[in-house]
């Protein structure tokens, strides 16, 4: 159907407004990070990149980033493994309690994260476990592993069951089928699940708040600073974090593209 | 029945919950045979093949491969291989990797694997350059050949096919049917093929088994099944057919509107009908003649020409008899009948073209 000129103009304006609505806050944070002033004011009168230098040099920031990174990396790896096997149980294999499992998996996602965080904290206390960044991994997993499972399951649903049967018919045992057929075919789903897991863990605040104990992650520290003791270090770290995430996504996409390109000639 | 079958099924039964998919199947398949199982959907043909390759377990009975019982052996340890309906080519592998897959599982070294894959590409008339091609970039017919090459690389004792041609268009299917028959002759392997198309079965098979509701209705060669079906079901399964309910009293054949001239030939048929408790007289459309004035045949019936359908090399005529039955007559283009719709016509055929289907009163007559 041919769209008229006015429709096209209206759609363009609408699109621009949506993008502005979504990205303007991010842009203003970026501006705040390069402001020389101590407080968040607008418009910014004098610019400085001093806060970036401070952030990159600060040992406190290094510690925070390291804690966040440790949690996110471990959560990502575990989510990919749990997501892979969870998706097989969710989408591929017929077993007795499958439909119950499909519903239970979704439950943690529906739970408000603050409530989930508090509940987990009480659970750790009653077990006598002292909360630290390690307990935060468990807390993140409770919320993120189901999401990873769903992402891999979408991929697993589009999978012809005859492929595994054919491999078995030609003499492949179950572990060989998993390695040669199932895993490579679900790989794009597993990589996306890993990406989501990393980003969700890296940026998570409510679960970390309750379950990191004496340790602190970047989002927790940012929140604490905003509540009391604001400095442009807050938006600076925010922007650095966004840039880091963005680079990670780019790296993952590039990795997937390289994997695809190399595959036929392996 | 062959003396030393490569595959033997002994009273094989398969039950799904309260539904019995296969009732006490017995079957012998000969070494090197092209054996086809034909049946409508739900007849149990797919169930049989899944049992044979080991993807489902049978409820009772035995399956023997030569002198080895195989029904308890898992699919991956059976020396048989199947070409799937969806072909099941691995989309993340190249054509060459697909074909080499069974060889890789046997840890055969890469150089030998590749040599065998190239050999198979050639056997199936695919260019060598396809070795590195992505499976997803191949056409339907090419994928068919790749799936075959992969199955042959496995070098199975028996090669099973689960309707692999059903997704292809008519012309490609026809040419692949012939190619498959040719491949069977060249490899000398035992092929067991499943299809819902009896036409497809007839082109390729040495023997055909017709299935209906979990039982074999008839097992025979193509010619026998076409000209001497054992039941109305088999007769109607293979295209157009004219069937008459008949009885015989004192050597006189009786059927609505049907006239049988007394002769030795019709007498023989009458005796067959008398012997059976219920009988159907079958005549294939191509054996029915339009009778001219004064011309006679062993059997005659008159009616009105209802429709003329051109099918290319052949023409179908639809005739409605005085008794209201619709008959089909088939003529080659060159001996077409000069008549037009609405004409009254007299049809006839000779006794040696007719076949008596003896059917017990309660079997196969529900439909």
Distances, alpha carbon B277 to alpha carbons B25, B219, B352, B361, B363, in Å: 26, 23, 22, 7, 12
Q: Are A154 and A189 in contact (CB under 8 A)?
A: yes
Nearest Cα of chain B lies from the Cα of A187 at a distance, in angstroms, of 10
Look at phi and psi of residue A128 and say left if phi exceeds 0, alpha if psi is from -120 to 50, else beta.
Answer: left
pLDDT, one tens digit per residue, over A200-245 is: 999 999 999 999 988 999 999 889 888 888 777 888 888 888 888 8
Interatomic CA distance for residues B304 and B192, integer angstroms:
45
| Domain-embedded: residue B351 | yes
**Do B217 and B248 lie in a common domain?**
no
Q: Quote the pLDDT of residue A46.
A: 64
**Do B215 and B256 lie in a common domain?**
no
Which CATH number fits the domain that encloses residue B74?
3.40.50.300
Nearest Cα of chain B lies from the Cα of A80 at a distance, in angstroms, of 20
Q: Which residues of B touch A190 (CB under 8 A)?
A: none
> Over its length of 367 residues, how does chain B's per-residue pLDDT go in tens digits?
446 799 999 999 999 988 999 999 999 999 999 999 999 988 999 999 999 999 999 999 999 999 999 999 999 999 999 999 999 999 999 999 999 999 999 999 999 999 999 999 999 999 999 999 999 999 988 999 999 999 999 999 999 999 998 888 888 899 999 999 999 999 999 999 999 988 899 999 999 999 999 999 999 999 999 999 999 999 988 878 999 988 888 778 888 888 888 888 888 888 888 877 778 999 999 999 999 888 888 999 999 999 999 988 999 999 999 888 999 999 999 888 888 888 999 999 998 889 999 875 444 444 3
- Top pLDDT among A98 and A75 is at A75
**Do B16 and B111 lie in a common domain?**
yes
Which CATH number fits the domain that encloses residue B331?
2.40.50.140
A172 touches B at CB < 8 Å:
yes
| Domain-embedded: residue B105 | yes
Nearest Cα of chain B lies from the Cα of A170 at a distance, in angstroms, of 6
| Domain-embedded: residue B184 | yes
Measured from the Cβ of residue B173, the count of other Cβ atoms closer than 10 Å reads 20
Contact map slice: B 199-238 vs A, CB within 8 A: none
**Do B278 and B194 lie in a common domain?**
no
**Among the partner residues B74, B88, B150, nearest to A163 by beta-carbon distance:** B88
- Top pLDDT among A202 and A1 is at A202
* ipTM of the complex as predicted: 0.81
Contact call for A162 and B84, based on CB within 8 A? yes
**Do B256 and B201 lie in a common domain?**
no
**Do B44 and B185 lie in a common domain?**
yes
Q: Which of A26, A48, A68 is nearest to A232 (CA)?
A: A48
Q: Quote the pLDDT of residue A37.
A: 63
Q: Which residues of A touch B76 (CB under 8 A)?
A: 168-173
Q: Quote the pLDDT of residue A38.
A: 62
Which of B196, B227, B258 terminates a domain? The answer is B227
Mutate to test the interface with B, among A158, A164, A170, A265 (most CBs of B within 10 A): A170
| Domain-embedded: residue B233 | no
Residue B248 has φ and ψ, to the nearest 5°, of -135, 130
**Among the partner residues B76, B94, B150, nearest to A168 by beta-carbon distance:** B76
Please count the residues of chain A: 266
Q: Which residue of B has its CA nearest to A184?
A: B92
Contact call for A167 and B101, based on CB within 8 A? yes
B189 contacts: CB under 8 Å, gap ≥ 6: B32, B152, B156, B158, B159
Cβ-Cβ contacts under 8 Å between A and B: the total is 62
**Do B205 and B299 lie in a common domain?**
no
Nearest Cα of chain B lies from the Cα of A19 at a distance, in angstroms, of 37
Give the distance from CA A130 to its chain's centroid. Answer: 26
Domain that includes residue B126, residue range? 7-227
* Averaged confidence pLDDT in chain A: 87
What sign does the dihedral B63-B66-B70-B75 (CA atoms) show?
A: negative
Contact call for A166 and B82, based on CB within 8 A? yes
Q: Which residues of A touch B94 (CB under 8 A)?
A: 264-265
HEC profile for A176-225?
HHHHHHHHHHHHHHHHHHHHHHHHHHHCCCHHHHHHCCCCCCHHHHHHHH
Please report, rounded to a whole number, the percentage of residues in chain A having pLDDT higher than 70: 93
Look at phi and psi of residue B54 and say left if phi exceeds 0, alpha if psi is from -120 to 50, else beta.
Answer: left
A163 touches B at CB < 8 Å:
yes
Q: Are B126 and B94 in contact (CB under 8 A)?
A: no
HEC profile for chain B?
CCCCCCEEEEEEEEEECCEEEEEEEEEEECCCCEEEEECCCCCCHHHHHHHHHCCCCCCEEEEEECCEECCCCCHHHCCEEEECCCCCCCCCCEHHHHHHHHHHHCCCCHHHHHHHHHHHHHHCCCCHHHHHCEHHHCCHHHHHHHHHHHHHHHCCCEEEEECCCCCCCHHHHHHHHHHHHHHHHHHCCEEEEEECCHHHHHHHCCEEEEEECCEEEEEECHHHHHHCCCCHHHHHHCCCCEEEEEEEECCEEECCCCEECCCHHHHHHHHHHHHCCCEEEEECHHHCEECCCCCCCCEEEEEEEEEEEECCCEEEEEEEECCCCEEEEEEEHHHCCCCCCCCEEEEEECHHHCEEEECCCCCCCCC
Based on the structure, what is the number of domains in chain B?
Answer: 2
Nearest Cα of chain A lies from the Cα of B60 at a distance, in angstroms, of 22
**Do B263 and B218 lie in a common domain?**
no
| Domain-embedded: residue B245 | yes
Q: Which residues of A touch B150 (CB under 8 A)?
A: 170
Contact call for B76 and A166, based on CB within 8 A? no
**Do B223 and B245 lie in a common domain?**
no
For A3, the 3-state DSSP assignment is coil
**Among the partner residues A169, A181, A264, nearest to B81 by beta-carbon distance:** A169
**Do B188 and B246 lie in a common domain?**
no
Q: Quote the pLDDT of residue A82.
A: 95
| Domain-embedded: residue B116 | yes
Q: Which residues of B touch A168 (CB under 8 A)?
A: 55, 74-76
pLDDT, one tens digit per residue, over A61-73 is: 889 989 999 999 9
Nearest Cα of chain B lies from the Cα of A230 at a distance, in angstroms, of 52
**Do B192 and B57 lie in a common domain?**
yes
| Domain-embedded: residue B1 | no
Residue spans of alpha helices (H) in chain A: 5-33, 50-57, 59-87, 98-110, 113-127, 133-157, 161-169, 174-177, 183-202, 206-211, 218-227, 233-262
A195 contacts: CB under 8 Å, gap ≥ 6: A248, A249, A252
> Taking chain B, what is the end-to-end CA distance rounded to the nearest angstrom?
31
**Do B220 and B255 lie in a common domain?**
no
Residue B93 has φ and ψ, to the nearest 5°, of -125, 155
| Domain-embedded: residue B363 | no
Residue B363 has φ and ψ, to the nearest 5°, of -110, 130
For A228, the 3-state DSSP assignment is coil
B76 touches A at CB < 8 Å:
yes
Contact call for B105 and A171, based on CB within 8 A? yes
Q: Quote the pLDDT of residue B3.
A: 64
Nearest Cα of chain A lies from the Cα of B152 at a distance, in angstroms, of 11
B132 touches A at CB < 8 Å:
yes
Which of B168, B202, B227 terminates a domain? The answer is B227
Which of B227, B259, B276 terminates a domain? The answer is B227
Measured from the Cβ of residue A19, the count of other Cβ atoms closer than 10 Å reads 10
pTM of the model: 0.80
**Among the partner residues B76, B88, B91, nearest to A171 by beta-carbon distance:** B76
Contact call for A181 and B54, based on CB within 8 A? no
């Amino acid at each position: 159907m041919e769209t008229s000129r006015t429709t096209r103009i209206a759609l363009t304006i609408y699109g621009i407004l949506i993008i502005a609505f979504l990205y303007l806050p991010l842009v203003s944070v970026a501006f705040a990070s390069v402001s020389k002033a101590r407080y968040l004011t607008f418009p910014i009168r004098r610019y400085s990149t001093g806060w970036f230098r401070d952030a990159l040099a600060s040992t406190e920031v290094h510690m925070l980033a390291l804690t966040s990174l440790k949690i996110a990396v471990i959560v990502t790896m575990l989510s990919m493994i749990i997501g892979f096997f969870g998706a097989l149980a969710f989408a591929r294999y017929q077993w007795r309690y499958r439909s119950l499992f499909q519903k239970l998996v979704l439950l943690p996602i529906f739970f408000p994260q603050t409530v989930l965080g508090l509940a987990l904290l009480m659970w750790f206390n009653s077990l006598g476990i002292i909360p630290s960044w390690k307990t935060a991994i468990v807390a993140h997993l409770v919320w993120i592993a189901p999401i990873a499972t769903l992402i891999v399951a979408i991929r697993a649903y589009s999978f012809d069951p005859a492929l595994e049967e054919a491999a078995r018919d030609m003499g492949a045992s179950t572990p060989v089928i998993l390695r040669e057929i199932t895993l490579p075919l679900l790989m794009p789903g597993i990589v996306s699940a890993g990406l989501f897991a990393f980003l969700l863990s890296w940026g998570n605040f409510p679960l970390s708040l309750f379950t990191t104990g004496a340790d602190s992650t970047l989002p927790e520290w940012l929140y604490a600073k905003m509540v009391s003791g604001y400095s442009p270090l807050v938006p600076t770290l925010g922007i650095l974090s966004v840039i880091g995430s963005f680079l990670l996504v780019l790296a993952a996409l590039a990795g997937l593209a390289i994997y695809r390109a190399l595959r036929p000639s392996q | 029945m062959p003396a030393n079958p490569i595959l033997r099924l002994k009273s094989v039964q398969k039950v799904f919950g309260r539904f019995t998919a296969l009732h006490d199947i017995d079957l012998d398949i000969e070494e090197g045979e092209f054996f086809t199982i034909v049946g409508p959907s739900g007849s149990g043909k797919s169930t049989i093949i899944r049992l044979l390759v080991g993807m489902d377990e049978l409820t009772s009975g035995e399956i023997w491969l030569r002198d080895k019982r195989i029904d308890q052996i898992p699919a991956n340890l059976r020396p048989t291989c199947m070409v799937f309906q969806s072909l099941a080519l691995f989309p993340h592998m190249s054509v060459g990797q697909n074909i080499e897959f069974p060889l890789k599982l046997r840890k055969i070294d890469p150089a030998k694997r590749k040599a065998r894959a190239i050999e198979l590409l050639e056997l199936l008339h695919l260019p060598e350059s396809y070795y590195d091609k992505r499976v997803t970039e191949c056409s339907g017919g090419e994928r068919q050949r790749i799936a075959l090459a992969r199955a042959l690389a496995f070098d199975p004792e028996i090669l099973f096919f689960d309707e692999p041609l059903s997704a292809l268009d008519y012309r490609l299917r026809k040419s692949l049917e012939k190619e498959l028959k040719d491949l069977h002759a060249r490899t000398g392997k035992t092929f067991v093929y499943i299809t819902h198309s009896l036409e497809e079965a007839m082109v390729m098979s040495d023997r055909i088994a017709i299935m209906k509701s979990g039982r074999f209705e008839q097992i025979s060669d193509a010619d026998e099944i076409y000209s001497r079906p054992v039941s109305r079901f088999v007769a109607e399964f293979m295209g157009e057919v004219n069937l008459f309910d008949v009885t015989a009293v004192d050597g006189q054949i009786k059927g609505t509107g049907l006239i049988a001239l007394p002769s030795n030939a019709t007498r023989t048929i009458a005796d067959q009908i008398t012997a059976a408790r219920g009988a159907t007289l079958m005549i294939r459309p191509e054996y029915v003649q339009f009778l001219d004035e004064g011309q006679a045949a062993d059997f005659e019936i008159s009616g009105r020409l209802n429709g003329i359908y051109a099918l290319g090399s052949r023409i179908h005529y639809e005739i409605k008899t005085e008794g209201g039955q619709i008959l089909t007559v088939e003529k080659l283009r060159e001996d077409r009948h000069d008549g037009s719709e609405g004409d009254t016509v007299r049809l006839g055929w000779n006794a040696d073209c007719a076949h008596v289907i003896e059917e017990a009163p309660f079997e196969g007559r529900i439909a």
